[in-house]
Structure 1
Amino acid sequence: MISMSTIFFMVTAERAYEKVVSAAELAPSDYILKPFTADTLLDRIAKAVEKRAIFAGLYRLMERGDLNQAIAACLEGEAGDRRFLVDFKRLRAELHISLGEPHLAEPLYAELYELRAVAWARLGLAKTLFLQNKFAESEEMLIALVAENNKFMDAHDWLAKAHEANGKFSEAQAVLQNAVTISPNALQRLRKLGEIAFETGDVGTAEKAFQQVVTKARYSEFRDPEDHVRLVKTLVSKGDTSQAATIIRDLDRSLSGSGKGKACHAISSAMLFKQTGDLDRSSEELNKAVEACRDNIGLSTEMKMTLAKNCLDQKMDSGATEIMLDVMNNASSSAAMAKAVNLFEQSGRADLAQSTAKESRRIVVDLVASGAEKARLGDYRGAVTSMMEAVKKLPGNPQVVFNAAVALLKHLDHLGWDERLGDQARTMIDTARRLDAANPRLSSLTALHQTIMKKYGIASTTGVASPIIDS
């Protein structure tokens, strides 16, 4: 990703509506259509450069992870240059969301909507409601927003999320289909449409969506072997084994070089062999996939659950338990854990659900307790070692990642600044925020990080300490 201080202009003669909308979703600083005069371009660039200069200090704070300090800078900016009052308030609201404080962002977005009545402010308000689990209120607001602003693509995505959270999968599918019609090149939205359509039993729409994803991503950096698995799963469900075999061959040619690619090839092949009645070869491929997952190959939770479900269907309890233990260990919320338990129960294995969930809880508690005990005894180096090993084992578990960040910060606080550990601490804080943005303890964690940086006079994003000079 480019830095916040980068000015990103798109200059094009492209006027086809669907392509313009898809490009605009990349949120450039400006989008300029040819033909235009030199004065027009110069004026646009000058405005962008001026705004960047005003926000440069704030951007540095954000990129450094000093989000509470960035909020203070926003407040200072709001009291200063009134031309950018709305921009500063909007950034402040976004920062509160990043800190897991949607309740503090909510009144800001409400105020912004009163000031401007713009669609993005209303969307921000709906997001804060969603993040506070006020799904019905969020859904109601988003329905009205999409009705009034049918070309506002982010609003479609959040409305689909709200429908899904409220169990309205058909409504979510309809919203995504409309969004894809307007802006057909957003891969993540197409993937989501395929997943929801498959969930509702609309195999035709799912196949079309997944085929588009595979085709559009073929020569891009966004291609993912999991897309082939989703397409194969859809084709197999409708009995089209010939086309499924073609997709697997394409996967083998283009994406099977990595560990993730090999696992996806094995899962796809297992589903095809099962459909054709060759259960021995299907089991063999499932075992290959389970073995591949023992390394950190980046397979998504959804794909791991697909693998586990196929293992359960073929009475491969050991493989299913191994995969689902990993899923549960890295569950980012109670809802994610419930979904994992439900997979076992739907396969008639409530016993495995209970035993695997119990083992997962034991593993997480033991890992966190080990690091906490070492820190309590003053062994801060040992605490960091324990927690970073825990992160290697459970990289997606928010509790483990959060406690790893705490261990790193305590080490820095008590034993002095270390550039490498400082970078690791920031990475762990960012990861904890990504895994569980609603965690109310994130703000105190960020505040501790900032306090330690100030203690050692950390004045740059490089993490190099500089002397503090009192004025």
Structure 2
Amino acid sequence: MKETMQDNSQLSVLVIDPHPGMRANLQNMLNLSGIGKVEYAVNAGTAIRQLTRRSYDIVLCEYDLGGAAGDGQDGQQLLEDLRHHRLIAPWSIFIMLTSEAVYGKVIGAAELAPTDYVLKPFTADTIGARIARAVERRALFLPAWQLVAQGNVREAIRSAVAAEIAHPRFALDFARLRAELHANLGEDGEAEEIYRKVLAFKPLGWAGLGLARARFALGRVDEARETLQALVAAHPRLMAGYDLLARCHEAAGKHAQAQQILEQAVAISPHLVRRLRKLGEVALAAGDAAAAEKSFRQVVSKARHSEFRDPEDHVRLVQALVGRGDLPGAGSVVRELKKTARASPELDACLAVANAAVHDAAGNRADALAALQAAVAALRSCGGLSTGLKLGLVRACLAHRFDQGAQDVMMAVVNDAGSGVTSQDALALFTEAGRRDLADGVRQQLTAQARILLGVADEKRNMGDVRGAVQTLVEALHIAPANLQVMIAVAGGVLRQINELGWDHPLGELCCAQLEKIRAIDTDHPRLASLEEEYLAMRRRYGISS
């Protein structure tokens, strides 16, 4: 017992519970387990502020944080925010405490992967045993997680392989970790093989989901869809399966089917804000404004007390109301957003986009254009808005012949490597809108930017910053992926970095992809043969199998 208390005395715990009596009881129970470092939060907002300032080994969170008045996030919504905004580390222990008898809410919490959940009433022995079990497991996984945090994912995989052999009781958990790390490196084929082996041993839901994710990432969307359909039939409460299945339908342009799948998921687990938001977006794309309004009203209501309230939710609700012809309702939402949200450039942009939609629907084209101009101006000083909102703004600008605004916003999207929008996507959008002139203008701007970045990369390389040069070359490739000069520069820069700093698998794959593209464009390019020879020599040098 003394050894347990000695170990636990170093643990820090954040108790999140609105009830003073329960906080006192938990303090006593934790003290009996040898834990003395205990702090408290009475609701989600204070918990987020405390977790922003410092980290804790363990979070004990009451599910029903809103109290009788329901004025606040529940524990599930809080966990969603904490994981999404990375306020708790992967090795943090999060235990949900609940007396909630509604099974749907319990399964909702479980799908967000808390370490454990404990139903009240419970004893000191119960909570102590759950904590002990969680701490034991964390100790085994901590070395791999810490390597990931240091950016050494390859070494983390090796650590997981060794731990899997040393601790066979957790072999499947380590296999899962290895697969996820391979996926993080873009090695979806390796991840797929691990999941296949797990499934051959035991038909686990998470392994089936991982297999589908790998196939989706590899572009085998039909296979992923078939895997998921069988998966949700066998595991109807594996909620993430519905989410990915909806993405498969979206990828095929089948928005109505995606909406149907998400509606099934929401009927099973109705409390996840991100799923409700996605359902609203898909419903809008499918032309079902009524379903979109219903979803976004729930999102706005549930997110009202979140520290991470997103003003874009109000914009989407406005768009749904406009789609239904309810302009007074849409105007009311705009006024509510302006009154209740914190002032920020993001808010200014969202208000302008929402106002433009309302004015447009009312036939006030001059006011709509003025709102679009305000939105484009606000966008220049904020970076936290979604790609979807920005592309919607581009289309609205095109509809109003606000060409400069459309070009400015599209250039900002393409230059954002995290947007997922390539230069080809941008050119296609303008071409589909019948504006080849704007497509040509954007192409010329992107080509000029790529040339500038090639010069910057040369300067970095000459200064000995090989890694920085490659990062700049990758930026150039993002904005000009079909530019032969950029492809050659990227392949050469990557090989130079590997030669000086050692093998890097993602960069090696990037180099290989560029060489294949160069060969497809110009088989006789004077640099191709030497680059391919150098690439193969690097693989042999570092013992990389073909």
TM-score normalised by the chain length of structure 2: 0.70
Q: How is 1:16-27 mapped onto 2 (pairs within 5 angstroms)?
A: 16-27=102-113
Give the Cα separation in 2 of the matches to 1:4 and 1:386. 30
| Corresponding residue for residue 459 of structure 2 | 374
Which segment drifts farther, 126-135 or 336-345? 336-345
Query: What amino acid maps onto 2:451 in structure 1?
Result: D
Distance 1:280 1:225 in 2: 24
Partner residue, 1:198: 284
2:178 aligned counterpart, secondary structure: helix
Residues 381-425 of structure 1 show CA distances to partners (whole Å, capped at 9, x for unaligned) of 69959978998xx9x97989xx8xx99x97xx89xxxxxxxxxxx
| Counterpart-to-counterpart distance in 2, 1:294 and 1:81 | 53
CA shift at 1:17, angstroms? 2.3
Q: Deviations over 1:119-168 (max 9, x none)?
A: 11111111111110001111100011111111101111111111111222
1:14 aligns with 2:100: yes
**Structure 1 Cα separation of the partners of residues 425 and 266 of structure 2:** 27
Q: Deviations over 1:59-114 (max 9, x none)?
A: 21111111000011011112211111111111111100001100111110011111
Asked if 1:261 corresponds to 2:347, the answer is yes
Work out which of the residue numbers 63, 78, 89 in structure 2 matches 1:3.
89
2:213 partner SS: helix
The Cα of 1:330 is off from its aligned counterpart by 2.8
> 1:221 Cα deviation (Å)?
2.2
Q: What secondary structure does 1:239 align onto? A: coil
1:29–1:297: structure 2 CA closer, same or farther, 3 Å change rule? same
Q: Which has the higher contact order (CA 8 A, sep 6+)?
A: 1
For 2:390, the aligned partner's letter is: K
Q: Deviations over 1:297-319 (max 9, x none)?
A: 32211111111111111111111
Give the Å deviation of 1:333.
8.4
Which of the residues 236, 245, 248 maps onto 1:162? 248
Distance 1:344 1:56 in 2: 49
> 1:241-256 counterparts in 2 under 5 A?
241-255=327-341
Question: CA separation in 1, counterparts of 2:339 and 2:103?
Answer: 35
Sort the Cα spacing of 1:78 and 1:386 in 2 relative to 1 into closer, same or farther, 3 A.
Answer: closer
Post-superposition CA distance 1:263-304 (Å, at most 9, x none): 100111111112222222211111111111112332211111
Mark the CA change 1:334 to 1:350 in structure 2 (over 3 Å): closer, same or farther.
farther
Q: Which residue of structure 2 lines up, in the alignment, with residue 422 of structure 1?
A: none
Q: Answer yes or no: is the 8 Å Cα contact 2:454–2:473 preserved in 1.
A: no
Q: Distance in 1 between matches of 2:469 and 2:422?
A: 28
Amino acid at match of 1:120: W
Equivalent residue, structure 2, for 1:456: none
Letter in 1 for 2:262: L
Aligned counterpart for 2:220 among listed residues 134, 143, 146? 134
Describe the shift of the 1:439–1:30 C-alpha distance in structure 2 as closer, same or farther (beyond 3 A).
farther
Provide the rounded CA distance (Å) in 2 between the counterparts of 1:72 and 1:387.
Answer: 26
**Is 1:88 aligned to 2:174, yes or no?**
yes
Paired residue for 1:305?
391
| SS of aligned partner of 2:133 | helix
- Cα 1:35–1:117, aligned 2, differ >3 Å: closer, same or farther? same
Determine the structure 2 residue equivalent to 1:41: 127
Q: State the 1:442 CA deviation.
A: 10
Name the counterpart of 2:509: 440
Distance 1:389 1:438 in 2: 12
Cα pair 2:277 2:295 within 8 Å, conserved: yes
Report if the CA contact (8 A) 1:371-1:387 is conserved. no
1:397–1:339 distance in 2 versus 1, CA, 3 Å: closer
* Offset from partner CA, 1:210-260 (integer Å, 9 cap, x none): 111111111112311111111111211222110010000011112261000
Conserved in 2, the CA contact under 8 Å of 1:100 and 1:440? no
Q: Which amino acid aligns with 1:65?
A: G
Following the alignment from structure 1 to structure 2, what is the Cα–Cα distance between the partners of residues 352 and 51? 57
Alpha-carbon distance between aligned partners in 1 of 2:381 and 2:464, rounded to the nearest angstrom: 29
1:207 and 2:276 matched = no
Report the counterpart of residue 271 of structure 1 in structure 2. 357
Q: Distance in 1 between matches of 2:266 and 2:425?
A: 27
What is residue 464 of structure 1 aligned with on the other side? none
CA-to-partner distance for each residue in 1:21-42, whole Å, 9 max, x for gaps? Answer: 2222321110111123333322
1:466 aligns with none
Q: What amino acid maps onto 1:259 in structure 2? A: P
What is the CA distance between 1:361 and its match in structure 2? 4.2
Q: CA RMSD in A?
A: 3.3
Alignment partner, residue 316 of structure 2: 230
Secondary structure of the residue aligned to 1:440 is helix
Alignment of 1:291-370 (within 5 A): 291-330=377-416, 337-363=423-449, 365-370=450-455
TM-score (norm 1): 0.80
8 A contact 1:371–1:382 mirrored in 2: no
The 8 Å contact of residues 371 and 386 in structure 1, kept in 2 or not, is answered as no
Cα distance change, pair 439–211 in 1 and its aligned pair in 2 (3 A): farther
**1:212 to 1:8, Cα distance in 2 relative to 1, 3 A:** same
- Residues 243 and 336 from structure 1, CA distance in 2 versus in 1: closer, same or farther, beyond 3 angstroms? farther
Separation in 1, partners of 2:206, 2:306: 29
Aligned length, in residue pairs: 415
CA–CA distance in structure 1, aligned partners of residues 120 and 333 of structure 2 = 40
Letter in 2 for 1:201: G
Aligned-partner residue type, residue 435 of structure 2: R
Aligned in 2, Cα 1:354/1:397: closer, same or farther, shift over 3 Å? closer
**Secondary structure of the corresponding residue to residue 224 of structure 1:** coil
Provide, for residues 156-186 of structure 1, a one-character-per-residue CA deviation record: whole Å limited to 9, x for no partner. Answer: 1111111111222221111101111111121
Alignment partner of 2:265 out of 167, 179, 185: 179
- Which structure has the larger Rg over C-alpha atoms? 2
Name the CA distance, whole Å, in 1 between partners of 2:507 and 2:120: 43
Matched-pair contact (CA < 8 Å) for 1:74–1:88: yes
Structure 2 counterpart SS, 1:70:
helix
Name the CA shift for 1:260/1:360 in 2 (closer, same or farther; >3 Å). same
Q: Deviations over 1:410-469 (max 9, x none)?
A: 7xx89xxxxxxxxxxxxxx9xxx9xxx9993499xxxxxxxxxxxxxxxxxxxxxxxxxx
Distance 1:111 1:247, change over 3 A: same
- State the distance in 2 between where 1:172 and 1:223 align: 25
1-side partners of 2:507 and 2:274: how far apart? 23
Distance 1:244 1:441 in 2: 47
Letter in 2 for 1:374: E
